[in-house]
Structure 1
Amino acid sequence: MVSPPHEAMHRIFQHDPGLFSRVSRFLGVDIPAPVKATALPTDLTEANPVERRVDTLLRLETADQGPYLLAVEAQGKKHPDKPASWAYYTAYLWTKYRLPTALLVVCQDHATARWAQQPVSCGPPQLPTLTVQPLVAGPHNMPVITDPDEARADLVLASLAAITHAAEPDVDAILKALSTALRDAPEDIAKPLVEFTAQGLAKRPAKNLWRKLVAVDLSFYKSYLAEEVRDEVRAEVRAEVREEVRTEARAESRAEDILLILEQRGLDISEDVRSRVTHCTDPELLRRWLARAVTVPKAEEVFEDA
């Protein structure tokens, strides 16, 4: 089943195709910025019923080097069948479109990134024939953007940095910088990045921080995530109020029971005792007083253990 982090890791390149050229410098290559980008069908299924589907496929055009294809794969864990699939994707796309084809794999953990960037050949050792070695973007090489000004300079890259570092200790600082930077961004720019980031974090602990940052820092625009957080906050407040009411009711009931027991035992209840019992709001303390009210010889002695 396709997970939210999987979707975020490749769809962010559909959102901003020029992101690949900016990411490439962190991968040890220099890819020119495209002057034109076209999203292509991702279905690579042949006429025979064998379905092959790349995550994101873009046709990028540069001013100097001409057009090329970029296939983006989001990889959540090691999978022995993937290198063969990647080889198929690149060979098929090269054959179909007759264009140079680049393959980028986006990961969220170091082990998967190390595995993905290893070259894999489809032939015997002495005849490698076709070798697949994708570019890999992950926590090992994506920048740790913790400065709001740096995040503001490239909001999409900052979002990808948060996604690829979702399981890293630095992710909280990245999220804070990104949320601060997004305050100044128009809603149509900020909203998709908020959602990409939320998807990329999925069920990781940092998701809770991002939800709170969105609810507080980005409350000026509507977002399903922001509205969800605000609804949760309102529900928490209502639950706290209900709990306070229940606590007060329990305290009032126990106070009445204490006074009733003392009265039934014929003990003299001074105004000081009555006031102290009725004004106590601690149910546990009242419970102890209630237990003592059954045996103490004087009403004042219910407080002796307090």
Structure 2
Amino acid sequence: MVSPPHEAMHRIFQHDPGLFSRVSRFLGVDIPAPVKATALPTDLTEANPVERRVDTLLRLETAGQGPYLLAVEAQGKKHPDKPASWAYYTAYLWTKYRLPTALLVVCQDHATAKWAQQPVSCGPPQLPTLTVQPLVAGPHNMPVITDPEEARADLVLASLAAITHAAEPGVDAILKALSTALRDAPEDIAKPLVEFTAQGLAKRPAKNLWRNLVAVDLSFYKSYLAEEVRAEVRSEVQAEVRAEIQAEVRNEASAESRAEDILLILEQRGLDIPEDVRSRVTHCTDPELLRRWLARAVTVPKAEEVFEDA
């Protein structure tokens, strides 16, 4: 099952194809900004029943170097079969489109990022034949953007920074800077970035902070995230009300049971129970007071004396 972080890590490049050229400078390469971008089908399945599907595939065109393909893969953990799949993707795309193909892998933890950026060759050591070494974006090289002005200068990059640092201690500061920067952004720009960030954080503790920031800083925002916060608040309130009602019912049941026990003991002892005594016992709702009356009912010579210590 595809997870929200997986979707956020690659779909953000569909949202803003130019993000790759801006990210590349943190990866040690210089990729020119595209002048045109086209989303291509991600299904790489051949006639045989083996399905091959890349996460995101873009055709990017530049002013000076011509078009090329960008395949973006979101990788949540190490997987021994992935390098072979990546080799297939790049070879297939190169064959199908006859265009240079770049592979970017986006990760959220250092161990996976370190594993993903290691070169893997499909041939024997002396005959590497085809070597795959993707560019990797992760917490080890993505910027920690904690200045709202810096975040405002590139909101999409700031969102990706939050996603790739989702498990890092500095993510709280990134989220605060991003939410502050999004206050002044038009809704059509802010909304998808709020969604990408929320998906990228998934069930990590930072998601609670992000939801609170969205509720406070981005009051205009109306989406499943805001509705989720409202639903949780309603659920908590309803749970509290139910708990109070249940407690009251238990107290009432306990009081009623003790009142019956008091009257039963007095009756079994053959004592006369005046109507005012019976009424006072049955209308009492204080469990502690009834408990004391119950203890006295065992020994008092007259029914009226169960109330004396009250």
Fold in common (TM above 0.5): yes
Instruction: Please state how far the C-alpha of 1:206 moved relative to its aligned partner.
Output: 0.6
Q: Deviations over 1:157-212 (max 9, x none)?
A: 00000000000000011011111111111111111111100100011111111111
Instruction: Say if 1:2 and 1:299 are closer, same or farther in 2 by CA, change over 3 A.
Output: farther
Q: Could you list the structure 1 runs, at least 4 aligned residues long, displaced by more than 3 angstroms after superposition.
A: 234-306
Instruction: Say if 1:44 and 1:242 are closer, same or farther in 2 by CA, change over 3 A.
Output: same
Superposed, 1:142-221 pairs within 5 Å as 142-221=142-221
Range with greater deviation from structure 2 (291-300 or 32-41) = 291-300
Rounded Cα–Cα distance in structure 2 between residues aligned with 1:255 and 1:147: 67
Percent of aligned positions that are identical: 96
Rounded Cα–Cα distance in structure 2 between residues aligned with 1:162 and 1:38: 26
Query: Is the Cα contact below 8 Å between 2:214 and 2:221 reproduced in 1?
Result: no
Instruction: Say if 1:97 and 1:264 are closer, same or farther in 2 by CA, change over 3 A.
Output: same
Query: Is the Cα contact below 8 Å between 1:219 and 1:226 reproduced in 2?
Result: no
Say which SS state the counterpart of residue 27 (structure 1) adopts.
coil
Instruction: Say if 1:180 and 1:260 are closer, same or farther in 2 by CA, change over 3 A.
Output: farther
* TM-score, structure 1 normalization: 0.80
Rounded Cα–Cα distance in structure 1 between residues aligned with 2:252 and 2:132: 68
Instruction: Say if 1:233 and 1:99 are closer, same or farther in 2 by CA, change over 3 A.
Output: same
Q: Deviations over 1:8-33 (max 9, x none)?
A: 00000000000000000000000000
Gaps of 5+ in 1: none
Instruction: Say if 1:173 and 1:271 are closer, same or farther in 2 by CA, change over 3 A.
Output: farther
Q: Deviations over 1:136-170 (max 9, x none)?
A: 00000000000111111100000000000000000
Instruction: Say if 1:215 and 1:91 are closer, same or farther in 2 by CA, change over 3 A.
Output: same
Instruction: Please state how far the C-alpha of 1:120 moved relative to its aligned partner.
Output: 0.3
Rounded Cα–Cα distance in structure 2 between residues aligned with 1:118 and 1:11: 24
**Residue 57 (structure 1) aligns with:** 57
Instruction: Say if 1:50 and 1:253 are closer, same or farther in 2 by CA, change over 3 A.
Output: same
Say which SS state the counterpart of residue 152 (structure 1) adopts.
helix
Instruction: Say if 1:148 and 1:95 are closer, same or farther in 2 by CA, change over 3 A.
Output: same
Rounded Cα–Cα distance in structure 2 between residues aligned with 1:77 and 1:288: 64
Instruction: Say if 1:110 and 1:293 are closer, same or farther in 2 by CA, change over 3 A.
Output: farther
Range with greater deviation from structure 2 (293-302 or 70-79) = 293-302
Rounded Cα–Cα distance in structure 1 between residues aligned with 2:296 and 2:289: 11
Say which SS state the counterpart of residue 26 (structure 1) adopts.
coil
Rounded Cα–Cα distance in structure 1 between residues aligned with 2:165 and 2:220: 27
**Residue 255 (structure 1) aligns with:** 259
Instruction: Please state how far the C-alpha of 1:294 moved relative to its aligned partner.
Output: 12
Instruction: Say if 1:230 and 1:63 are closer, same or farther in 2 by CA, change over 3 A.
Output: same
Instruction: Please state how far the C-alpha of 1:50 moved relative to its aligned partner.
Output: 1.4
Query: Is the Cα contact below 8 Å between 1:215 and 1:227 reproduced in 2?
Result: no
Rounded Cα–Cα distance in structure 2 between residues aligned with 1:166 and 1:289: 60
- Kindly tell me the number of residue pairs found equivalent between the two proteins: 306
Query: Is the Cα contact below 8 Å between 1:151 and 1:178 reproduced in 2?
Result: yes
Rounded Cα–Cα distance in structure 2 between residues aligned with 1:189 and 1:290: 70
- Higher gyration radius (CA): 2
Instruction: Please state how far the C-alpha of 1:65 moved relative to its aligned partner.
Output: 0.3
Range with greater deviation from structure 2 (70-79 or 291-300) = 291-300
Instruction: Say if 1:304 and 1:14 are closer, same or farther in 2 by CA, change over 3 A.
Output: farther
Instruction: Please state how far the C-alpha of 1:227 moved relative to its aligned partner.
Output: 2.1
Gaps of 5+ in 2: none
